[in-house]
Amino acid sequence: MALQIYNYLHREKEPFVPLHEGKVNMYVCGPTVYDHAHVGHAKTYVSFDVVVRYLRFSGYDVLYVQNLTDVGHLLDSGEDRILRKARQSEATPMQIVETYARSYFADMDALGVARPDISPRASGHIPEQIKMIETLIEKGHAYVADTGNVYFDVYSWGDYGKLSNRRVEEQESGSREEVREDKRHAEDFALWKKAEPEHILRWDSPWGVGYPGWHIECSAMSRKYLGDTFDIHGGGVDNIFPHNECEVAQSEAANEAEFARYWMLTGSLTVPDEFGIPVKMSKSLGNFYTIKDALKIQRPEVIRTFILSGHYRNPIVFSEDSLDSARKGWDRIYGAVRLTREKLRSAPDGDEGNSFFASLEKARQQFVEAMDDDFNAPGALAALYDLTREVNTLLNSGQTVGKEVLQSIDDTYRSLGGDVLGIVPGEEASAGAADAEREDGLIRLLVDLRMQARKAKDFATSDRIRDQLSDLGVTLEDRADGTVWRIG
């Protein structure tokens, strides 16, 4: 089956056919950098990390652009989020931006999320935004109010609402836009805002000193780096209106070309409220956990496993139970990986046990089938769990398994679980995966020391090492072919 993607533009799965054969241009709305990222952000960006990884795994040349919003994202009150944080912190806006942009990338690095190819900032692309606004004015889709504000006239674009399926007359005025008397229509949205004297973020423009609205940045930056039309636009489903809807309208009105061909939107991350009812994780509700907090209680591969245990389009519930379930699942997979690598250290040359190659091919086919079905990560994980059960049966059966077979098992885990899902340490390990490798190395050293003590009949030392490892949750099993260990 060829890759199918659920396209929110048409509300159905569609075969993925890129604009240019073998190449994928992809844009994902990035964070507004005014605070530390929370686990809801992790859900979105881990999900798209896996999308990019799988596209590359499938042979596509992917150009991945993810912006950083550092100006123009307004609260319902009309106040810029960056400016409000700056006032609260008694810092300059750019201090806030730099602090939390670095924090965001540090969190993504810790989670094993590959950096985008380009991470443009809104404040660094003011000329491009001004040029697009001028084009919209020239074509009659935008107007300059007497106040110096510039608005997009939603009634000038007949397709406004086609992404969110909301008619203009059904829309609530003021959503993320301050309702102002200088608009022609309450539903019109700001492209450029006049800066009041106390407003620190300000640039010269043909309409006076001001700053861009939130929506125009993504249209201008995606066009600059990906062209008028590109393959995939990603983001969170909560931003389908007004942000994504406004992107589509202003881009297609300005460029007179299709904007994004496939729209992929992630479901929300929820947390149980006091009554156990899942509600969206949100800073405004105060029910959020930062990624840094989550990493204090679970390793990054477990957090990724938790996120990937639900389909990217569906909401998932963040709780201790769900994290614990993800940890147990990851432990099973990594336990088999660890056992495979332990066996490799002393396995005989050759392909003894080569009948297992069929199981590896079956797992790969199931994995690819799942991922080709709209990046079904839960299905891909299920293929790895099935493989893990078979690997454990093989390696615990007592039969001789040659290096060729063990290496193929390890390569399969590295490829599917590492390169695509990012939950198995590979050549380009995340910080957490590198920690896992170091942890394994230390345990292996102690196991070797215990083996030497046993050979020297120093059973007191041997028992002490075994007992201390047991206290740390490491179980040893002595076999005829050596000692194997597992955590938990």
Distance of CA 40 to the CA centre of its chain: 10
CA atoms within 13 A on the CB side of 441: 6
User: Residue 209: CB partners within 8 Å, gap ≥ 6?
Assistant: 194, 195, 202, 203
What pLDDT is attached to residue 480?
A: 59
The whole-number pLDDT of residue 443 equals: 78
Hey, is 142 helix, strand or coil?
strand
pLDDT at res. 178:
52
What's the CA gap between 188 and 152, in Å, rounded? Answer: 6
Amino acid 392: pLDDT: 95
What are the per-10-residue average pLDDT scores of the chain (488 residues)? 94 98 97 91 97 98 95 53 61 81 96 97 96 98 96 96 83 50 92 84 93 94 98 96 97 98 96 80 77 94 97 94 95 94 91 94 98 98 98 92 96 97 72 60 78 81 82 73 65
* Residues 217 and 122: beta-carbon distance below 8 Å: yes
Give the pLDDT confidence score for residue 437 in this predicted structure: 62
Per-residue H/E/C for 56-85: HHCCCEEEEEECEECCCCECCCCCEHHHHH
The pLDDT value recorded for residue 280 is 80
